[in-house]
Amino acid sequence: MSENLQKFLKVLEKTESDFSARLAAAQDEPALEALKIEYLGRKGILQSYFSWMSQLDANEKPQLGGALNRIKETIQSRLEERKTAFQRQPAAIESFDPSLPPRLPACGAMHPLLQVLDEIKQIFVGMGFRIEEGPEIESDYYNFEALNIPPYHPSRDMQDTFYLREGLVLRTHTSPVQIRTMENQKPPVRMIAPGRCFRNDTPDATHSPTFHQVEGLCVDRGVSFAELKGVVQAFAQKIFNKDVRVRFRPSFFPFTEPSAEYDFSCIFCKGKGCRVCKNTGWLEISGAGMVDPAVFGFVDYDPTIYSGYAFGMGVERITMLKYQVHDIRIFYENDLRFLQQF
């Protein structure tokens, strides 16, 4: 074989592999059309190779001619093949599979505080309590005065109140719903009042200017402190677990006498002492006590006939313990990475 023929056949090989790469990169029919003109056109690459014939001996010409024809046919058929593939593409859409599950829209869920609040409500409803509500904007009278907290009483400072215009406040606790309920109902009363409260506190890991409480109240003939303890104990065991013990410590609230603060035995270390309970074995929950006769005076209940108990609790506190949330502020940030864990 002459040197020239060898050289020409090499160029043909290279031309074919170049074409393959160009074909693979062609994205649509116009791109195929352009390739066709470039390679097979009258002034195209292959046509130009026919001029090589004159540089070969007569006996080698048929070999180059055959090679040129083969590559021409290859390019032609590969262009055709690709073109039908493009034209067939819409059929791919027709082969849509109706049994595939649909993409679901993002769906919201109950906020963790509301989930726990629901649980709290269910527990108390199960013990015969009704659910009452009161306004978040409250009068000074219901928020303080009728709860036996007179004007200029130091416990008003404790509550860091947001004052609105004359006589109105953002309620600092849900205790005012006690008064509203007793004004509207004669004993026996057994109610809980869940709701949002506000205090002018600087936010930190355990304080927020807005938070939620559940107030409880029971008034009837012969209601005792022992019953209060029993109800709080039953609640503790239902919301956490059967092993939780309850402890009452003497305290003071203007609307209860005697008053107590109640603790649950630490649900993490079972009372042995750990970081969460600061090695005391106990978790402080909230306050409770026997309704002060002075409060009955505001709602015309006769304290010589009726007695009652009241208690409070913080929904955030219980949720934080239940789910080991370490910063109260995260409840109000609407961060989906947090909320989607519930």
Task: List interacting residues with ligand DAH (CB under 6 A).
Answer: 173, 175, 215, 253, 256, 286-289, 310-312
Report the side by side order of strands in the sheet with 282-291: 130-131, 189-198, 210-220, 307-314, 282-291, 256-265, 246-253
Residue 30: is the preceding peptide bond cis (ω within 30°)?
A: no
Rounded to a whole number of angstroms, the minimum distance from the CB of residue 311 to ligand DAH is 5
Nearest approach in angstroms of CB 119 to ligand DAH is 20
Q: Which is nearer to ligand DAH, 253 or 306 (CB)?
A: 253
In angstroms, what is the minimal distance from the CB of 178 to ligand DAH?
A: 7
DSSP state letter for 144: T
| Nearest distance, CB of residue 320 and ligand DAH, angstroms | 17
Instruction: Phi first, then psi: give them for residue 229, nearest 5 degrees.
Output: -60, -40
* Shortest Cβ 124–ligand DAH spacing (Å): 13
Give the nearer residue to ligand DAH in terms of CB position, either 298 or 311.
311
The first and second tokens of residue 29, run together, are 């029919």
The residue (of 225 and 268) whose beta carbon lies closer to ligand DAH is 225
Closer to ligand DAH by Cβ: residue 156 or 173: 173
Q: Whole-number minimum distance, CB 173 to ligand DAH, in Å?
A: 3
The smaller minimum CB distance to ligand DAH, of residues 175 and 319, is found at 175
Which residue's CB is nearer to ligand DAH, number 175 or number 307?
175
Pairing of the two strands 282-291 and 256-265: antiparallel
Q: How many CB atoms lie within 10 A of CB 4?
A: 14
Please provide residue 196's backbone torsions phi and psi, each rounded to the nearest 5 degrees.
Answer: -90, 140
3-state SS assignment for residue 282: strand
291 closest CA partner among 172, 120, 151, 175: 175
